[in-house]
Amino acid sequence: MNVLLKDTEKGIKAQLRPVAEASKIKFETNELPSDDDVQTRNDQEAKEYFFNGGMDALEECIVRHGLRDSGCFVKLTTRSPKDVVVAKEIAKQAFRARREHGEFGHLAFEDIPDHSSRWAAFGEEMRQALKVRSDNHAGNWKLGLVVRRWDDRCQPHREFRAFAWNGKLTCVGQYFSLLRFESLQGAPCVGESRTRCTSHLSPSQGSRSFARQKMDLVICDKPYLVDINPFDGVGLGTMKASTGLFDWDRDRDIMTGRQPFQIRVQRLYTPYSG
């Protein structure tokens, strides 16, 4: 089990790159060890981590980086959309088997006519793909802890979700898409956020670092990268809950870069309907 520190103070580094290993992404910054220093523990060690001293490693990380007073944010690297990268491959095999038996008229997944029907056809396979049948199976989901310095600038009105397609930053929208923030209503404010995104997350940098991804950002004096998740335009990341103020079916040309870059904020007060 690795305990890694992601220092948001460093901002986005030119050499930052997501490394997907089944269900985890490591972020490499100057604060993190090199690949040679990060050892992947075997399944048994991963299982023993939470039972034998895992919290000791976390405590050591907090003390070593001086996070006792300022606080930190801790998250697991698994049980998130990153798991879907592996689960999707399992589900695709099951889906192909159903298709070969003629359940979809031999249509390819992407040829099923509408987004809702595609998800309905694929959803059961995705659910089954996450089923664990043994401890060895469970051990295949590699676990890690990510520790981030607590940053009070990470406030709801500064949180955005960005999309990159084939290495190009295509659009950015409010992360809390149902909330209207007065501070975001002025055109200069939106324009400044757009400039900060496009200048610090340029297409040339994106082609080295991103490909097709959803990126969670905090935009202050410049954008700070919080998280990266997969986005494939078929199933991963295309649901409305993931795309926020953009809609994959309606805004596909924007999200894939065929139309100019856009940044969106919520202009309306949304009534609570829960």
Least confident of 96-110, 146-160, 219-233: 96-110
Instruction: Work out how many domains the chain is built from and give that number.
Output: 3
- CA 215/CA 220 separation, integer angstroms: 15
Residues 178 and 239 in one domain: yes
Radius of gyration of the chain (CA): 20
Cα dihedral 153/17/148/164 (nearest 10): 40
Residues 120 and 26 in one domain: no
Label the pairing between strands 223-230 and 213-219: antiparallel
* Res 238 pLDDT > 70: yes
- CA 255/CA 240 separation, integer angstroms: 13
Residues 162 and 260 in one domain: yes
Place 274 in a pLDDT band, splitting at 50, 70 and 90.
Answer: very low
Domain annotation covers residue 273: no
Q: Give the position of tokens 């043994």.
A: 134
Q: In the prediction, which pLDDT does 154 show?
A: 81
**Average pLDDT score over residue span 229-248:** 82
Domain annotation covers residue 272: no
* H or E stretch at 147: strand 145-149
pTM attached to this predicted model? 0.57
Residues 233 and 187 in one domain: yes
- CA 31/CA 4 separation, integer angstroms: 9
**Average pLDDT score over residue span 160-168:** 88
* Res 19 pLDDT > 80: no
* Res 101 pLDDT > 70: no
The CATH number assigned to the domain holding 254 equals: 3.30.470
Q: Other C-beta atoms within 10 Å of 154: how many?
A: 15
* Res 29 pLDDT > 50: no
Residues 64 and 9 in one domain: yes
- CA 105/CA 247 separation, integer angstroms: 28
Place 35 in a pLDDT band, splitting at 50, 70 and 90.
Answer: very low
Q: Other C-beta atoms within 10 Å of 188: how many?
A: 7
Cβ partners under 8 Å of residue 274, min gap 6 = none
* Res 150 pLDDT > 90: no
Q: In the prediction, which pLDDT does 239 show?
A: 82
Domain annotation covers residue 29: yes
- CA 245/CA 263 separation, integer angstroms: 9
Domain annotation covers residue 120: yes
Domain annotation covers residue 166: yes
Q: In the prediction, which pLDDT does 42 show?
A: 44
- CA 217/CA 214 separation, integer angstroms: 10
**Average pLDDT score over residue span 99-105:** 63
Domain annotation covers residue 129: yes
Distances 144 to 79, 105, 132, 141 between C-alpha atoms, Å: 11, 42, 19, 10
* Long-range interactions of 94-101: CB distance < 8 A, separation 24+: 94/125, 94/128, 94/129, 95/121, 95/122, 95/125, 98/125
* Token pair belonging to 249: 């079916």
Domain annotation covers residue 274: no
Residues 234 and 165 in one domain: yes
Query: Could you list the residue range(s) of the whole structural domain that residue 195 is in?
Result: 156-264
What's the chain's average pLDDT? Answer: 67
* Res 202 pLDDT > 60: no
- CA 86/CA 232 separation, integer angstroms: 13
* Res 52 pLDDT > 60: no
Residues 178 and 225 in one domain: yes
pLDDT tens digit sequence for 165-196:
988 888 999 988 888 888 888 766 666 666 76
- CA 75/CA 17 separation, integer angstroms: 19
